[in-house]
Structure 1
Amino acid sequence: MKKNVTITVTGIVLVGAILFYFTTFFAYTPSDKFSGFPVPKNAKLVKEKESVNIYDWSKASEENGIPSGYKLVIKSKGWKEINREGASTYYTKGNEKIDLISQTNELTLIKD
């Protein structure tokens, strides 16, 4: 009986971990324009300039920033947070620098 409970709990935890991995890491795609910086797949590009992209994204928030899963993906792709000023968070990877601005329902990426 104990063995069956252990196997069931282990299976549930394993399935949960797999679901978390896929829903977190496959929800973002690397951007060629921004040196591979991950961008949410469900974010809608609304404005594009030479070094700026503005996205409509319901999970962006000025008060709370970006979701923790997005932070985890950014970090796992080798980007380091170097500074935060208000809604802006600055990331670096090698010689590349990205300013991510999270406002209510709007995500802006700026390549410095």
Structure 2
Amino acid sequence: MKYKKIILAVVLFILLGISYYIVANSKYELSEKYRDFPVPISAQLTKENENNSVYEWSMSSDENGIPISYRLIIWVNGWEKVVREGTLTIYEKDEVQIHLSSDRDEIIIGR
């Protein structure tokens, strides 16, 4: 009886994790410009040049950075956090670096 409860708890935990990932993954798309780096679907592109793109995104914060769901999707897509200084985080994958800066209601993605 005790083992059934433990197995049930583990199965529920796994199902909740999978559900969270599916919901989080549906909120991001991979950017061709930035070598398949995830970009929030709800973010609105406000400025763009050759090296970076500025997005208006209400989930971003200068104090708290980006949401954990965004960090999870970045990690799942193979990007590794290399450096974090203030609001700037540098991610790397296959020797390509992407700079992600989070500010109040805005993110900047660049090379």
Q: State the TM-score bracket (shorter-chain normalisation).
A: 0.7 to 0.9
- The residue that corresponds to 2:89 in the other structure is 89
Q: Deviations over 1:28-84 (max 9, x none)?
A: 100000000000011000111011100000000010010111111101111010001
Deviation for aligned residue 1:10: 8.3
Distance between the aligned counterparts of 1:82 and 1:12, measured in 2?
Answer: 34
More displaced stretch, 93-102 vs 13-22: 13-22
- The residue that corresponds to 2:54 in the other structure is 54
- The residue that corresponds to 2:43 in the other structure is 43
Structure 1 stretches lacking a partner, 5+ long: none
1:15-34 to 2 correspondence within 5 Å? 16-34=16-34
Distance between the aligned counterparts of 1:72 and 1:54, measured in 2?
Answer: 21
The letter of the residue matching 2:24 is: T
SS of the residue 1:34 aligns to: coil
Distance between the aligned counterparts of 1:20 and 1:85, measured in 2?
Answer: 28
State the aligned residue count.
108
Q: TM-score, normalised by structure 1?
A: 0.84
Moved over 4 A (4+): 8-15
Deviation for aligned residue 1:11: 8.6
Distance between the aligned counterparts of 2:98 and 2:37, measured in 1?
Answer: 8
- The residue that corresponds to 1:102 in the other structure is 102
Distance between the aligned counterparts of 2:106 and 2:11, measured in 1?
Answer: 38
The letter of the residue matching 2:55 is: Y
- Relative distance call for 1:92 and 1:12 in structure 2 (3 A) is closer
Q: Percent identical across equivalent pairs?
A: 36
